[in-house]
Amino acid sequence: MYGVIIEGLLESLSITNLILIFLSTFIGVIIGALPGLGPTIGIALLIPISYGMETTTALLLSAGIYVGAVYGGSITAIVLGIPGTPTSTATVLDGFPMSQQGRSLEALAASTVSSSFGGFVSALFLMFFTPMLSRVVLKFGVAEQFMLAMFGLSVIAVSSRESFFKGLLGGFFGLAIATVGYDPITGYNRFNFGVDYLADGFPFMVVVIGLFGISQTISMAEKAQTISGSTELSGSIWTGTVKVFKNMRVLIQSTLIGSFMGGMPGVGGGPANMIAYTTVANSSKDRDSFGKGNIKGVIAAEASNNATVGTALIPTLAFGIPGSTVAAVLLGLLMLHGVEPGPKMFIEMPLTIYTFFWGLLFTNLILVLVCFPLLKYFAKITIVPYQILVPNIFMLCVLGTYGMRGYVFDVFVGIAFGVLGYFLKKANYPMVCIVLGLVLGRLAESNLSRSLMIHRNLDFLYKRPITLTLLILTAVIMIIPYINIEKIKRRLRKN
Amino acid sequence: MKTNKKRFMLVALLICFIFVTACAQPAPAPDPAPSEPQPETPGNETEQPSGPTFPTKPIRIITHSEPGGGVDIFIRALQPYIQFELGQPIVIENVPGAAGRIGTTQVWNSDPDGYTLLSHTLPLTTVGDIVYDAEYNILEFEHLVAFDKTPYVIAVKIDSDINTFEDLVNESKERTLTNATSGVGGSMHLQSVVMKDALGIDYADIPFNGSAPAMMAVMTNDVDFAILPFDIPLTNLDEVKVIVAMDTNRMPQYPDIPTVLEEGYEFELISIRRCIVAPKGTPQEINEILINAFEKAAENPDYLKWAEDRGVNLEILTGDDYYRIAEEAYEMVDKFKDIFQ
């Protein structure tokens, strides 16, 4: 087996393959940076083109696009405050405030380095621990997935410290939007007003582009200035890089969360990104500076989403069950090339598989090489006057909403959410709570229904070890913000 | 200097726009030119002299599957061979959503000129028509060709007490078993409902989001069993075991697994079929050209090899034969439509 691993390494290091990885990573970054286009569409675009290619070539190209696109979403998230992909929603929370302070270069560098690190570790997991981790995946049934979603939702309680009720309302609003579309259990069409375009619910990315992007352009159009408020940039790539390694704990913590969430079928990068961010935010001493341009927020969000890339392929390769929509498309690509995914693959075409694994590893390193020279230009966007920026961003957003599924209907949905988002922002509703509700609503709802259908009562919440652990964690997370540690310490000292 | 950089950025953004517009459809053809639908203009008709003039321009095949989904992969693998037979580019377009209803309706409303076709999965579109009141009438499409047949098997967790179909029937009388389906109204659900009705047994159908998650539910021990497409669990035989084949004959993949009939039970068996239809009213001679081309494409040795490697169970039915199968599916769904709602 180790012979094949080395052989795969040599194969992936050939000049043509390295050039392929380089190019596809670059394309991936661009695809990811465009709002509405993400890794799923990127790889889907590759499917018809890849037909005539060698399987290895196609796989390496998809690795580059996948990694590049998951990272690329953070560029738009940091520079413009619009998540370029669903997996970089949490990046906006601290990345954009950093840009507003003129520290976009620092944020972009931190995002690149932590993405690269998260992706690299995740690819290592994929390469060496697939058989082991696939056992863990099998421990997560519907009840566990429901509790995982609840754990994610509990984060609403802590991410809205400024106004608890506004956060809660936002979360409920998100959950309410998530109920539009067919009922995952009965198949009944709910709240779609008879429109078949809404039968699958509001497309997540369209809502996000509306809430973050289009609302942003409206508020920008109000004043004449630049994102950073000045015409000069402060901070450098170097400071951003150094800060990542100074926050090693955050980096490792969020990489592990991301890797874990990525491996859960049906959970994917979006929730991973949010959950890692909030976990880090709440376990940090400087909790209050999150959301105001704390670099740890960017590190957590970006390390975690790229850390889902490798592990999302674990259930795909081990069982032929995709861990995310991207993995599903990749699975399709594999099948088109006549590759039957599953344990058999490691026996029948080990060289292809290990070349792909190495390719994935190198892509994460090459990412830094591809992106560092570009960061300067991306950062410049934050010193472009709004008069020039606003029409361009608006056009990008509209195209993004259209590009998701290719339905004009979605453009109007996006604009409607944009107007709504503008007013919600004015009223200080935390957007992150809405998105959390939206992201986790379906996961929670469908798995709760399934658990109830299977277990017929709520015993599963505390009778299974994993759900019980998650239940306790959820309770702790919800209580934490209301405990004043200093006060308790003082009281203890008195006694 | 400053303005130069700004200009660079604007140009870069514009390039991005062009890129997005070019990629707006999730799956354009390798050749971007034919992805624009070209409406049949009246002027074109005068250009049709005698002789076989179809097709004179690219043909669009719309599939209701996501890129990378079951039908999508199937039709994309076939595409080069269809292209070869027809001598015109074949553009495959994904119009997913609403359990296939959006894509199917789009083809229903297209011009019946043979240049827009639908690649669909058989019981799915039927359910859309009957249960969800879709705009189209599935039986009124021009039925061109059904390519394959994916029968079901019943799978349980590897360490389950249920070892035969009989065990399953008996066990279902003692306690409430659970069965994972791919979703309400899906063909896995339909098969389950038909089976329950015929055997007079009962168990809970738990809907999941597709057949892969349904198999996962068996593997995580969430459900007792699942009725799965025969080609799915092959790779997971160390996690699940197949106890019965829901087909008329034993399956080559599972030579040791008896069929339901061999086990002494008889009920209607449902199979997924991946098919091609044309909008209602497409001229007969065009239909024949298309049927001929599809049939030849699916018999291409290179394609047959792909199908064999993938475990695709080809069973080509054309025209009336296909229509008969579609009609049977329609009657079955119609009979059980109340259960789905």
* Whole-number Cα distances in Å, B198 to B169, B193, B194: 12, 9, 6
The predicted complex's ipTM stands at 0.83
Average confidence score pLDDT of chain B: 82
**Quick one: closest CA in A to B216, which residue?**
A321
**Quick one: closest CA in A to B104, which residue?**
A196
Q: Which amino acid is present at A174?
A: G
B127 and B168 part of one domain: no
Cβ(A68)–Cβ(A31) below 8 Å: yes
Cβ(B82)–Cβ(B52) below 8 Å: no
Of A200, A319, A338, the CB nearest to B235: A319
B166 and B238 part of one domain: yes
B240 and B157 part of one domain: yes
B86 and B102 part of one domain: yes
A94-135 pLDDT, tens digit per residue, is 999 999 898 999 999 999 999 999 999 999 999 888 888 888
Cβ(B277)–Cβ(B259) below 8 Å: no
For B118, the 3-state DSSP assignment is: strand
Residue B156 covered by a domain: yes
Q: Do A141 and B208 make contact, defined as CB atoms within 8 angstroms?
A: no
Closest listed residue to residue A214, CA positions, set A391, A61, A86 = A391
Helices A15-33, A2-12: inter-axial angle, 10-degree rounding: 70
Residue A142 covered by a domain: yes
Q: Do A320 and B220 make contact, defined as CB atoms within 8 angstroms?
A: no
What's the domain count of chain A? 1
Residue A73 covered by a domain: yes
Q: Do A340 and B235 make contact, defined as CB atoms within 8 angstroms?
A: yes
Distance in Å, alpha carbon of A301 to nearest chain B alpha carbon: 25
Q: Do A196 and B206 make contact, defined as CB atoms within 8 angstroms?
A: no
Instruction: Out of B246, B264, B299, pick the residue that ends a domain.
Output: B246
**Quick one: closest CA in A to B8, which residue?**
A377
Tokens of B169: 């029937």
Residue A429's Cβ-side half-sphere holds a number of Cα atoms within 13 Å equal to 21
CATH number at residue B94: 3.40.190.150
Residue A450 covered by a domain: yes
Q: What is the DSSP letter of A441?
A: H
pLDDT of residue A24: 93
A19-45 pLDDT, tens digit per residue, is 989 999 999 999 999 888 888 888 888
B160 and B122 part of one domain: no
Q: Do B67 and A189 make contact, defined as CB atoms within 8 angstroms?
A: no
| Phi/psi of residue B261, nearest 5 degrees | -65, -45
Tokens of B26: 């999730």
Q: Do A392 and B72 make contact, defined as CB atoms within 8 angstroms?
A: no
Q: Which amino acid is present at B294?
A: F
For A473, the 3-state DSSP assignment is: helix
What's the domain count of chain B? 2
- Using a CB-CB cut-off of 8 Å, the residues of chain B touching A200 are 97-98
Tokens of B185: 């109204």
Residue B19 covered by a domain: no
For A244, the 3-state DSSP assignment is: helix
Burial pattern B251-285, b for ≥16 Cβ within 10 A else e, equals beebeebebbbebebeeebbbbbbbbbbbeebeee
- Using a CB-CB cut-off of 8 Å, the residues of chain A touching B69 are 328, 332
Q: Do B209 and A37 make contact, defined as CB atoms within 8 angstroms?
A: no
Residue B24 covered by a domain: no
Q: Is the peptide bond before B55 cis (omega within 30 degrees of 0)?
A: yes
Distance in Å, alpha carbon of B49 to nearest chain A alpha carbon: 34
B127 and B172 part of one domain: no
Helices A55-80, A325-336: inter-axial angle, 10-degree rounding: 160
Asked whether the predicted pLDDT for residue B7 surpasses 70, the reply is: no
Instruction: Out of B178, B211, B246, pick the residue that ends a domain.
Output: B246
**Quick one: closest CA in A to B207, which residue?**
A185
Q: Do A328 and B219 make contact, defined as CB atoms within 8 angstroms?
A: no
Asked whether the predicted pLDDT for residue B119 surpasses 70, the reply is: yes
**Quick one: closest CA in B to A334, which residue?**
B68
C-alpha angle A311/A466/A327, rounded to 5°? 20
Tokens 């539910």 locate to B217
A152-208 pLDDT, tens digit per residue, is 888 777 666 667 788 889 999 999 999 998 887 877 778 888 787 888 889 888 998
- What predicted TM-score, i.e. pTM, was given to this entire model? 0.82
Residue A234 covered by a domain: no
- Using a CB-CB cut-off of 8 Å, the residues of chain A touching B206 are 450, 453-454
Distance in Å, alpha carbon of B123 to nearest chain A alpha carbon: 16
Longest dimension (CA), chain B: 85
B299 and B229 part of one domain: no
Tokens of A95: 């990345």
B165 and B306 part of one domain: no
Q: Choose the weakest-confidence range: A159-163, A171-175, A278-282, B80-84.
A: A159-163
* Whole-number Cα distances in Å, B142 to B88, B194, B322: 21, 28, 10
B216-240 pLDDT, tens digit per residue, is 899 899 999 999 888 765 556 678 8
Name the residue range of residue A17's domain.
2-225+240-494
Residue B20 covered by a domain: no
Q: Do A186 and B184 make contact, defined as CB atoms within 8 angstroms?
A: yes
B119 and B69 part of one domain: yes
Tokens of A102: 């003129």
Residue A443 covered by a domain: yes
Distance between CA A305 and CA A90 in Å, rounded? 10
Mutate to test the interface with A, among B10, B11, B16, B215 (most CBs of A within 10 A): B16
Element counts in chain B: helices (H) and strands (E): 12, 11
Asked whether the predicted pLDDT for residue B142 surpasses 60, the reply is: yes
Instruction: Out of B228, B246, B264, pick the residue that ends a domain.
Output: B246
CATH number at residue B171: 3.40.190.10
**Quick one: closest CA in B to A265, which residue?**
B213
Cβ(B326)–Cβ(B143) below 8 Å: yes
Name the residue range of residue B129's domain.
59-149+272-340
Distance between CA A346 and CA A239 in Å, rounded? 42
pLDDT of residue A344: 72
Tokens of A372: 């560092």
Confidence of residue B246 (pLDDT cuts 50, 70, 90): very high
Residue A16's Cβ-side half-sphere holds a number of Cα atoms within 13 Å equal to 6
For B230, the 3-state DSSP assignment is: coil
